[in-house]
Amino acid sequence: QKEVEQDPGPLSVPEGAIVSLNCTYSNSAFQYFMWYRQYSRKGPELLMYTYSSGNKEDGRFTAQVDKSSKYISLFIRDSQPSDSATYLCAMSAEGFKTIFGAGTRLFVKA
């Protein structure tokens, strides 16, 4: 079993939809939870960061962490075609060695 599990998709939604992306993990030592966006043939770009449990909102993006269930989510409101990319969850226990999920491919149709 992988330390971090993420549904690879693809996930296809119409423009304006609310998107929900999720990851589960097995290592209870993880404290830092990140979401990265990766466009084709580019490096990942940090979108959201959460420390321990709770919610964090930034514009159209909301990250949620439920440590008791070992489950994290990223919600995208009013999705746009420019949001079409691969979304990677990532986690770390100490803040440096980071374990990534496999990524979910998202397509937002105009």
Binding site for another protein (CB under 8 A): 4, 6, 8, 32, 34, 41-46, 49, 51, 88, 90, 92, 94-103
Give the shortest CB-2-to-another protein separation in angstroms. 10
Residue 78: other Cβ atoms inside 10 A: 12
Nearer to another protein, 19 or 44 (CB): 44
Q: Which residues does residue 45 pair with via DSSP β-bridges, in sequence order?
A: 37
CB of 75 to another protein, least distance (A): 20
Residue 17 or residue 48: which is nearer to another protein going by CB?
48
Work out whether strand 45-51 and strand 98-100 pair parallel, antiparallel, or are unpaired.
Answer: unpaired
Q: Quick one: 17 or 47, whose CB is closer to another protein?
A: 47
